[in-house]
């Protein structure tokens, strides 16, 4: 049997390929990006004709995946946790339509916010949608769960959510592969109205989903991904989910864990397994990577369980942030180890724009163009250029969600903050900026939009930007007058003229767009390859 050294993300991708995947759709986002990258690079996927697409955003990715499922084939949509917010509409409704071909959505959470705006726990989205959730504890299980996930998706006609966290996504281990399953043939839904969510049909479909809950719980009790191991010391029982299991076991290297333990890897929660554990012990410790989802359900609103429950809500574990073996050791009453002390003179080394980055020239120009106005007028967005909020630039005043720069600038301008400026990257503009531009154009809001076009999705490592070759046409197509669209080359030697142009655009009492175009300095090879593909397409 073949064994590969792969990241958790890559184990998911390889698992999907081996489980007969037909198509994968995604928008890049740490820590989920490597799933789709792996399929894009996989020779096996290429030979099998598997479609792997970077999409405009997570919503379009999710919808395309539903479309594949509609045809009876197996599909995946992958995103980071906040991407699931963008995809929430199709995601929630896909639980109602149900799946035809197997449909697995992967959401990669980022506890402690290593590369994110929040640390929301995607398991809540699964519960919200009444959808089964899989949460692997290691790379091998991530691989195995893809096979199982597609199978039960088809067995019950439901989409499946797989939730992972940063540490598993970006950690490598040996994974043993299975035989490859062939892709499904096309087989449209037996009921031609399955995917028609008109109220009368939606009510019917929702009824099916609600009735399926017992089946989902039955699967959770029997699949083996929720695993009970008994222990001799009944003074405490442990319920642990996903990767947190590893942090418990790390503290019992010689397999000498004395307590009964229930490892959760599949939701909805296996009620009988939990009841059996709690009945056999004096108290319970709940250890979850993420929000206290299991703990909250065990406690209930009135905290009316018969046994003491410990976890993130009573301070036994920290209320927020990523877990690790030492934090878990403390909750298990191990003494604190004596550690070397990190010297006080060690200072932080925040990330920063690369030497030669085009954003440096854009921000230098913008700062000068804005020098005549009071501060606090530049709304921005999500990408490398968010680093413009830090020293030495201090150029931007917001970063909320994908596309919010343009719409927040509109709102601020509407409220009287004139001029207001929006700074957004090329790919972020495609993701969620276009609709905001249409709002601005419609009301001729006094907003200047600076699109920093480095021709790639740089922050996540240089994935294809869907803006390439299209930006001017999109901006004009949104209704902007051509005289208010400007394209500049952000370089030191053009500093004066670029700054002058920015000043004029900012002074204009209506919408203007400046595209600052120069390729990302670290993704030159990727950009060149995409340009060549684009040229070949247009010829």
Partner 1 sequence: MNNENLNSEKFKKDIIIAGVGGQGIVSIASVIGYATLEAKLFFKQSEVHGMSQRGGDVQSHFRIANAPIHSDTIPMGNADLIISVEPMEALRYVNFLNSDGWIITNQNPYNNIPNYPDLNIVYDTINQFPHSIMFDAEAEARKIGTAKAANIVLLGAASSFLGMDYTMLETGIRKLFGRKGDKIVDINIRALARGAEIFRDIKK
Residue 343 binding partner 1, by CB under 8 A: yes
Is-contact 215 103, C-beta < 8 A? no
Subset of residues 397 to 416 that bind partner 1, contact rule: CB under 8 A: none
Q: Rounded to whole angstroms, what are the CA distances from 333 to 135, 327, 336, 451?
A: 26, 10, 9, 53
Nearer to partner 1, 114 or 275 (CB): 114
Does 387 interact with partner 1 (rule: CB under 8 A)?
A: yes
161 backbone dihedrals φ, ψ, rounded to 5°:
-100, 125
Contact 39, 17 (CB under 8 A): yes
35 sits near partner 1 (criterion: CB under 8 A)? no
Provide the minimum distance between the beta carbon of 340 and partner 1 in the complex, in angstroms, as a whole number: 4
CB 424 within 8 A of CB 403: yes
User: What angle in degrees, to the nearest 10, is found between the helix axes of 271-280 and 199-222?
Assistant: 40
CB closer to partner 1 out of 72 and 358:
358
Q: Which is nearer to partner 1, 421 or 458 (CB)?
A: 458
318 contributes a contact to partner 1 by CB under 8 A: no
Q: Is 324 in the site for partner 1 (CB under 8 A)?
A: yes
Q: Give yes or no for a contact between 447 and 377, defined as CB atoms under 8 angstroms apart.
A: no
Binding of partner 1 at residue 107 (CB under 8 A)? no
Say whether the peptide bond before residue 392 is cis (omega within 30 degrees of 0): yes
Q: Which is nearer to partner 1, 84 or 459 (CB)?
A: 459
CB 113, CB 223: distance < 8 Å: no
Which CB, 384 or 408, lies closer to partner 1? Answer: 384
Is 333 a binder of partner 1 (CB under 8 A)?
no
Residue 326 or 418: which CB sits closer to partner 1? 326
- Select from 42-50, 295-303, 346-354, 415-423 the region that touches partner 1 (CB under 8 A): 346-354
Q: Is there binding between residue 43 and partner 1 (CB under 8 A)?
A: no
114 lies in the site for partner 1, by CB under 8 A: yes
The residue from 329, 389, 487, 521 that contacts partner 1 (CB under 8 A) is: 329
Q: Which of residues 458-477 bind partner 1 (CB under 8 A)?
A: 459-461
232 binds partner 1 (CB under 8 A): no
Task: Using alpha carbons, select from 515, 508, 484 the residue that is nearest to residue 413.
Answer: 508
- The residue behind tokens 């913008």 is 366
Structure tokens of 159? Answer: 């989409």
When binding is defined by CB under 8 A, the residue of 179, 391, 483, 525 that contacts partner 1 is 391
Nearest Cα neighbor of 160 from 212, 227, 83 is 212
> What is the Cα–Cα distance from 344 to 317, expressed in whole angstroms?
26
Touching partner 1, residues 141-180 (CB under 8 A): 167-168, 170-174
34 vs 121 by CB, closer to partner 1: 34
Name residues whose C-beta falls within 8 Å of residue 515's C-beta, 6 or more positions apart in sequence. Answer: 451, 453, 471, 472, 475, 485, 486, 487, 488
Shortest reach from residue 188's CB to partner 1, in Å: 39
Does residue 342 bind partner 1 (CB under 8 A)?
Answer: yes
Q: 239 and 284 in contact (C-beta within 8 Å)?
A: yes
Q: Rounded to the nearest 5°, which phi and psi values hold at 101?
A: -75, 155
The gap from C-alpha 322 to its chain's centroid, in whole angstroms, comes to 16
Cβ nearer to partner 1, comparing 158 with 405:
405
Does the protein bind partner 1 through residue 246 (CB under 8 A)? yes
Q: Would strands 237-241 and 309-310 be described as parallel, antiparallel, or unpaired? A: unpaired
Q: Which of 67, 231, 321, 325 binds partner 1 (CB under 8 A)?
A: 325
| Closest separation in Å from C-beta 504 to partner 1 | 32
Answer for which of 249, 332, 389, 521 binds partner 1 (CB under 8 A) is 249
Q: Is 30 in the site for partner 1 (CB under 8 A)?
A: yes
| 390 contacts partner 1 (rule: CB under 8 A) | no
Per the CB < 8 A criterion, the answer to whether 298 and 274 are in contact is yes
In the complex, the residues that contact partner 1 under the rule CB under 8 A are 3, 5, 30-31, 33-34, 114-115, 167-168, 170-174, 243, 245-247, 249-250, 324-326, 329, 337-343, 345-354, 384, 387, 391, 459-461
């Amino acid at each position: 049997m073949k064994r590969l050294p792969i990241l958790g993300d890559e184990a998911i991708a390889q698992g999907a390929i081996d489980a007969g995947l037909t198509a994968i759709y995604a928008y890049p986002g740490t820590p989920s990006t490597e799933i789709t990258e792996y399929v894009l690079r996989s020779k096996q996927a290429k030979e099998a004709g598997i479609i792997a697409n970077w999409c405009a955003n997570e919503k379009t990715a999710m919808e395309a995946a539903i479309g594949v499922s509609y045809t009876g084939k197996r599909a995946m949509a992958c995103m980071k946790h906040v991407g699931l917010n963008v995809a929430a509409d199709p995601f929630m409704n896909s639980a109602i339509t149900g799946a035809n071909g197997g449909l697995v959505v992967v959401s990669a959470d980022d506890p402690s916010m290593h590369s994110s705006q929040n640390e929301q726990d995607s398991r809540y989205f699964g519960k919200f949608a009444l959808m089964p959730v899989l949460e692997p504890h290691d790379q091998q299980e991530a691989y195995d769960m893809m096979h199982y996930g597609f199978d039960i998706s088809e067995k019950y006609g439901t989409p499946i959510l797989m939730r992972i966290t940063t540490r598993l996504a970006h950690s490598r281990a040996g994974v043993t592969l299975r035989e490859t399953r062939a892709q499904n043939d096309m087989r449209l839904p037996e009921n031609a109205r399955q995917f028609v969510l008109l109220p009368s049909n939606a009510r019917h479909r929702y009824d099916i989903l609600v009735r399926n809950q017992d089946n989902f719980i039955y699967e959770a009790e029997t699949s083996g991904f929720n695993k009970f191991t008994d222990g001799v010391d009944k003074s405490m029982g442990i319920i642990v989910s996903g990767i947190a299991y590893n942090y418990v076991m790390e503290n019992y290297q010689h397999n000498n864990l004395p307590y009964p333990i229930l490892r959760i890897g599949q939701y909805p929660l296996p009620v009988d397994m939990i009841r059996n554990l709690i009945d056999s012990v004096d108290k319970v410790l709940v250890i979850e990577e993420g929000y206290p989802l299991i703990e909250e359900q065990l406690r209930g609103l009135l905290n009316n369980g018969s046994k003491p429950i410990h976890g993130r809500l009573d301070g036994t574990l920290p209320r927020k942030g990523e877990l690790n073996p030492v934090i878990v050791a403390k909750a298990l009453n191990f003494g604190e180890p004596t550690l070397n002390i990190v010297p006080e003179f060690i200072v932080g080394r925040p990330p920063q724009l690369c030497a030669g980055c085009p954003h440096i020239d854009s921000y230098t120009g913008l700062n000068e163009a804005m020098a005549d106005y009071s501060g606090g007028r530049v709304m921005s967005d999500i990408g490398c250029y968010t680093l413009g909020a830090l020293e030495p630039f201090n150029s931007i005043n917001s970063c909320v969600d994908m596309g919010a720069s343009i719409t927040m600038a509109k709102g601020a301008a509407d409220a009287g903050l004139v001029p207001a400026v929006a700074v957004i990257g090329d790919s972020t503009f495609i993701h969620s900026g276009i609709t905001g531009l249409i709002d601005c154009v419609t009301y001729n809001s006094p907003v200047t939009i600076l699109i920093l076009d480095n021709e790639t999705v740089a922050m996540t490592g240089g994935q294809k930007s869907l803006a390439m070759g299209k930006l001017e046409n999109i901006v004009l197509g949104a209704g902007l007058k051509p005289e208010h669209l400007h394209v500049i080359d952000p370089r030191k030697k053009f500093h004066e003229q670029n700054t002058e142009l920015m000043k004029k655009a900012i002074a204009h009492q209506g919408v203007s767009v400046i595209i600052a175009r120069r390729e990302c300095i670290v993704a030159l090879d990727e950009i060149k390859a995409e340009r060549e593909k684009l040229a070949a397409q247009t010829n």
